[in-house]
């Protein structure tokens, strides 16, 4: 393979390797603490029963709240805590991470394929052999 063609193929495969590699790097190094439910979208206690169950001293929090067994003290004094005063935030990182697996696998496969093409181009293994001559 002529050196100029080898250089073109090497540069092309290196650029094509960088595209999924940078995307893969960005996905893997992103912050994992941004997947919490925002404060403006807190889930009320009543709507969170299918995802979380909170126990206080072995008793369910909902039962303690309806019985008025929990009190909170603040500047206005002490008073019973109600279910309307409790809201929850969820960390959805595990769900987001599971959804990203196919994309990350595709990026990794593309990186591997482009790395193989780059190595083939740099080492000259993509040599053009020409067409065999047919005897007439």
Q: Among 78, 54, 84, which residue's Cα sits nearest to residue 66?
A: 84
The confidence score (pLDDT) of residue 122 equals 83
SS3 state at 20: helix
Structure confidence at residue 57 (pLDDT): 85
> Strand 55-56 vs strand 43-44: parallel, antiparallel, or unpaired?
unpaired
> Which pLDDT score, from 0 to 100, does residue 50 have?
78
Identify the pLDDT of residue 124: 77
Residues in the chain, pLDDT under 50: none
Whole-structure pTM value: 0.53
pLDDT of residue 109: 92
Exposed / middle / buried, residue 42 (Cβ in 10 Å: 0-12, 13-18, 19+): middle
Q: What's residue 129's pLDDT?
A: 67
Residue 107 CB: number of other CB atoms within 10 A? 21
CB 83 within 8 A of CB 46: yes
Rounded Cα distance, 83 and 72, in Å: 13
The pLDDT tens digits for 56-87 are 888 888 888 888 888 888 887 788 888 888 88
The confidence score (pLDDT) of residue 105 equals 92
Q: What is the pLDDT of residue 97?
A: 81
Instruction: Mark out the alpha helices in 30-92 (DSSP H runs).
Output: 61-67
């Amino acid at each position: 393979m002529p050196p100029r063609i080898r250089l073109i193929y090497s540069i092309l495969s290196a650029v094509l390797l960088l595209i999924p590699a940078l995307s893969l790097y960005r996905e893997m190094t992103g912050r994992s603490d941004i997947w919490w439910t925002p404060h403006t979208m807190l889930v009320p206690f009543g709507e969170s029963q299918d995802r979380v169950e909170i126990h206080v001293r072995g008793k369910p929090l909902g039962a303690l709240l309806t019985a008025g067994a929990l009190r909170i003290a603040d500047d206005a004094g002490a008073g019973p805590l109600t279910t309307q005063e409790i809201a929850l935030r969820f960390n959805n990182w595990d769900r987001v991470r599971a959804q990203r697996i196919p994309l990350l696998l595709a990026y990794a496969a593309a990186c591997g394929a482009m790395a193989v093409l780059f190595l083939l181009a740099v080492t000259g293994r993509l040599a053009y052999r020409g067409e065999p001559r047919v005897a007439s």
